[in-house]
Structure 1
Amino acid sequence: MSKKFHIVFGRQGAGKSTYSKKLTKDIEGVHFSIDQWMWKLYGKDMPKSMNLKWIMERVDRCEQQIWETAKNISDCGVEVVLDLGFTKFEKRELFTSLAKEQNIPTQIHYIKAPHDLRKNRVLKRNNEKGETYSFEVTSGMFDFMEGEFQIPREKELKKAIIIDTGETENNENK
C-alpha cells in the first residue's frame, strides 16, 4: 500500500526546507527538494541573466521526474515529503490530484512567516551558505517570487497543517 505524500508549500524564506527536513526525519521518509534538483542538474548551465522560461522548463522536467520517483518510493511503503515550492495553486492541485488518482493519501503543510523575517532569512542564508542553502537568492529574485506566490485558498487549508515559523521563532527568542 502506498504511503502518504506530504506537500509542503509557502513563500521564500518561510522555513519550508527546515520544516521539511525535520518532518522527513520524524516520519522516516524521503525528502525531495526542487532547489537541490535544479542546482545539481542545471546550476552550472544557468543563464547569466534571469530567464524565467528557461528556468520553468527545467523545473517542470524535475517535477515530472520527482513525481515518478516519489510514487515508486511511496509504493514501497515509505512516506514522501515534497518540498517543491508549490508557489502556484495549479501545481499544488496537480500533485494532490495525481496522488489521489494513485490512491496515495496527501497531507498539505502550509509554512508561513512575516515578509521582513522571510527576507532577512534569505539574505542571511545567502551569506552563511548553511544547510538549507542551494543557490543565492538576490533581493530582486525574492521580490519577483513574492508576486508569483498564490495565497492558499480556504479549501486548500481546510485539512492543512499550518505552521507559522515567525511565531515559533518569536517564542524561541523569549
Structure 2
Amino acid sequence: MSATLHVIFGPSGAGKTTYAHAFARREKAVAFILDEWMAKLFAPDMPDPIEYDWMIERVQRCEAQIWSTAAGVLATGTPVILDIGLLRRADRARVREIAAAADLPLQFHFVTADVEVRRARVAERNVVKGDNFAIEVSPAMFDFAEGVFEHPSPEELAGAIVSESE
C-alpha cells in the first residue's frame, strides 16, 4: 500500500503550519512546509522591499526540491504532508494531477478561519516570532495573499478534511 500524500491549504494565517506539524506528529508523517524552506534558504538574502519576481523564482526552486524529496519519502511508505501555499484552484488541481499520475493516495486538508482572526494571528506572529514563525508577513503581504487566494468550491472540498480554527 502506498503512503498518503496529505496536502494542507487555506488562506494566510489560518493555522496551516500548526495543523501540519500536529498532524505530522500524530500520524508519524514527514511535513514539508514551504515557508520554513524559504526562511532557511533565502530570508537572509531577501530584498527590502520584497520583489515579486525574486520571491516567485525561489518559491519555484523550493517547491521543486520539496516534490523531489517528498517523492523519496513516499517511496519508503511514509506519509507526507505538504504545506506549500496552493492559493489558487489551478495550483490544487496541479497537485491532483501529479498525485494521479504517480498513483498516490491523496488527502486534501482545508484549514481556515475568519479573516479578522487570521489578520490578528499574523500580526501577533510577526511580533512573538514563536515556533511557527518563518517569515514576517506584512499587512500588505497579507492583503496580497487575500487577493490571490481562491476559496475552494463545494466540489473541490468533496472528500477534503475541513478544519476551522478560532
Question: Which whole-Å deviations, capped at 9, do the CAs of 1:53-107 have from their partners, x for residues lacking one?
Answer: 1111111111111111101100100000001121111221112211111111110
SS in 2 for 1:67: helix
The question of 1:97 aligning with 2:83 is answered no
Partner of 2:147: 147
Partner of 1:17: 17
Query: How far apart, CA to CA, are the structure 1 residues paired with 2:98 and 2:85?
Result: 17
Partner of 1:123: 123
Partner of 1:112: 112
Q: Percent identity?
A: 39
AA of the residue aligned to 2:10: G
Question: Which whole-Å deviations, capped at 9, do the CAs of 1:137-166 have from their partners, x for residues lacking one?
Answer: 111111111101111122210110011112
Taking only aligned residues, the RMSD between alpha carbons, in angstroms, comes to 1.0
Q: Give runs of aligned pairs for residues 20-59 of structure 1, distance below 5 A.
A: 20-59=20-59
The question of 1:132 aligning with 2:149 is answered no
Partner of 2:162: 162
Query: How far apart, CA to CA, are the structure 2 residues paired with 1:92 and 1:65?
Result: 18
> TM-score, normalised to structure 2's length?
0.96
Partner of 1:170: none
Give the deviation of 1:109 after TM superposition.
0.3
Partner of 1:73: 73
Query: How far apart, CA to CA, are the structure 1 residues paired with 2:131 and 2:50?
Result: 24
Give every structure 1 segment of 4 or more consecutive aligned residues whose post-TM-superposition deviation is greater than 4 Å.
none
Greater CA deviation, 71-80 or 42-51?
A: 42-51
Question: Which whole-Å deviations, capped at 9, do the CAs of 1:18-76 have from their partners, x for residues lacking one?
Answer: 11111101110000000011111111111111211111111111111111110110010
